[in-house]
Amino acid sequence: MGKLQEVVHLDLQYSAWATGQLLQACAAISVADRNRDLGVSHGSILGTIYHFHISERFWAKCLAACKIPPLHEIKADPLPDEIHLEELERECARVARAFEDWFQSTTEEEVALPLSCRISATVDFPYIRWQLIRHVVNHSSIHRGQVIGMIRALGNKPPNIDVMTYLLRAHI
């Protein structure tokens, strides 16, 4: 495995772990509090997790298909009326597996190749695959941080999902 692949794999593994830790912590929070609109990000804890989950799902599909639809054709999925933790856990695990499957079938050279993305009627942007992964991890990390704040605001202790905690987890 080349250095670039190693970094991409670390990013994907960290992100899946952090989401798993967050979902596990949500199990200790009442259903009402998980779904309470706290006026942050996408309203509730589960609404915010659902938001970054569907974004991850979208990008995993794009990577698997080696194609990004034109930006003007992308429509945001509305938040469902009810979001169930157990379903979100299954779906997040499915997306993490999709990223892992993509990664396992990708070479060092392919990780550095672009996917063309139509960003306007006349402009294509070459979105490099490793940069796309970096975007996915960053976007999810921002929203995981918001969820951490919501968990604290509800009087609960959130998990430590910092990347250093991930790296040191076997030693602490």
Domains of the chain as residue ranges with CATH:
3-166 (1.20.120.450)
23's torsion region: left (phi>0), alpha (psi -120 to 50) or beta?
alpha
**pLDDT score, position 71:** 83
Q: Which residues pair with 114 in a beta bridge?
A: 128
The pLDDT profile of the chain, 172 residues, written as one tens digit per residue, is: 799 999 999 999 999 999 999 999 999 999 999 999 999 888 999 999 999 999 999 999 999 999 999 888 888 778 888 889 999 999 999 999 999 999 999 999 999 999 999 888 889 999 999 999 999 999 999 999 999 999 999 999 999 999 999 999 877 6
What pTM, to 2 d.p., does this model score? 0.94
Rounded CA gap, 99 and 55, in Å?
A: 13
- Residue 122 DSSP SS3: coil
Rounded CA gap, 131 and 166, in Å?
A: 21
Query: Phi/psi of residue 27, each to 5°?
Result: -65, -25
Identity of the residue numbered 132: L
